[in-house]
Structure 1
Amino acid sequence: MNILLPINQYFLRLFKNKFINHKVLFAGNMRDKMPIYLDTLVSFINTHKYDYYIWLKKIVNRNIYYGIMNENIYKKYNFNVLIFFWLKNKKESIFILKNILSLFTFKSEIYVIGANKSGIKNIKNIKELEMIYFEKIISIRKHIIFYAILKKKISFHINDYWNHYYYKNFKIYNLPGVFGGNKFDHGSKFLISTIFNNLNIKGKVLDLGCGSGIISTILSNNIKKHRKKFLLYSTDIDIKAIISTKKTLNKNFLENNNVFPSNVYSKVNQKFDFIISNPPIHDDLYYSLKFIYQMINKFKNKTKYNGKLLFVINNFVSCSKIFNKFLLKFNILSKNKNFSVYSIKNINN
């Protein structure tokens, strides 16, 4: 999140003077400073990712919104151009795009930018977007740019996008793009079974990267069932994950939970007895261990004395190199053919 992507550099050169008299909303999968470099009458940024929000907010400090767009924001600015960055998850892209376009008026201009391998090539064949007549205007540098003029009213109701599945007696809710959205993924399931077989979880607990809230739900229910004193905190960078976790916990009648956005530990101001995570190993379309490095690097500052960090990871990830970098001792609590569950204890006073 710093250097301008080549496709965004090209877009800036090509449309240098195009939007000087336009009110432009930027949304979707933004990863750099492109929105602040384009000359416009008004520039406004909407993002669902908290890491991007706090990074860009330090630079612009205004006209940026983290969350699902609403009519009050639109009425304040009356945007007439949308520049949308396509995400790797098609359903997530449709959700965000239709949410925003439902607020726009007729004859608004739409530009959609995406990498070839993100699936954007098929945008003209997506049933949910068939009322928008996209035209491919640019194909360069492994990216495509589509253009359309809004000619029909777009409807959007968030209740149409909720999915759910059942795990035992729990109903797990999720919005498009949230990790673990369609089922209890194998890594999280292995992590939970390992924890319950090896540890007595109680006290102050952090679910780091909560997704749909399945781990938080099982932890909260188990601690509640055994009448242990606890406080559960759940964090994620994705606003849709925050909304999903809140709904999952609420619908399963679980209390004593605090759910809020955080870029790893950026908004975590407490110290915990346990930090539990099924960390991501991808950043957008690319393999990345950035989250894991940040999670391990600062876990001592976020755990009490003898507090533990517990996380599950795919076996193809070489965690020994990570631990050696931080000179940390670790235990493998459990291992199967696909995953390992690691434990690191804070032994510093």
Structure 2
Amino acid sequence: MKRIAVLTSGGDSPGMNAAIRAVVRKANFHGVEVMGIYHGYEGLIEGRMELMDLGSVGGIIQRGGTKLFSSRCPRFKEDVYQFRAIEIMKERGVEGLVVIGGDGTYRGAVGLTKKGFPCVGIPGTIDNDIPGTEYTIGFDTALNTVIESIDKIRDTATSHENSFIVEVMGRDAGDIALWAGLAAGAESILIPEEQYDIDDILSRIEHGVSRGKKHSIIIVAEGVMPASELAKILKEKANITTRVSVLGHIQRGGSPSARDRVLAGRLGAKAVEVLLEGKGGRAVGIKNHQIYDYDFEVAFTTKHKADLSLYSLSKELSI
């Protein structure tokens, strides 16, 4: 290969820029040019791309978001647009594509690969919900953002002797809620992977009160229910008044952590290596601290699993 391309698609995550940088510089190191595609698959089918050199990715490793911008492109599910994308890339001399994103991004890459164009996926999502990799780029940074926010909320909860419900992102995965709840010492954590028990939440609050505790923190993943709904249930069931904080998109922003920067560098370099080996239809990930590549189908035929041992531990430590 003499020229490849890279794009970011779907929701942004801290560390995407570090991954773009790694792809460009690793490829350049091997004498391969890189075209940067702007605005994801939407930009691809409209031909919005330009050649990236070493300088074009200078000074971005510490920046959150994505230099190439991102968008969602529902029409890319259609064969006609995938064929158009392949035609455009071939016209520009592009022989392989690296995509950075989550589930939807991978599905687009699978469509291109099945039509004969080699693609490699890099997991970039704060949700940490991509099967085949233990961690995704952006998860660690988002986690630290959430923990910092919970720590600040606890200061207010302690001062005013209130109970707070904090809603965090994650789609249908509870990793952010689970890890942040354990790290911040939340009294209760609600995740999609485990059935919640309102009576257990109430008993934990009451037990805290009985030993002189006057505040509590409840973390709820957005895939379970809105925090406002949980607050309503607690009010109706036990006349407990809570304050609600929805952290929202603040979780996606910010300078990537050291862990996310290193992970992005390792995964970006591996993606280029996979393409240069003549392989497509692969995703790169980390398992047991080692970077490896695996078939895209793993991401769609297996289900992401939360580490429920952390859930059990959080209950034992928040008595």
Please tell me the TM-score bracket, short chain as reference.
0.3 to 0.5
The structure, 1 or 2, with the larger RCO (C-alpha pairs under 8 Å, 6+ apart) is: 2
TM-score by length of 1: 0.30
Structure (1 or 2) with the greater strand fraction: 1
Structure (1 or 2) with the greater helix fraction: 2
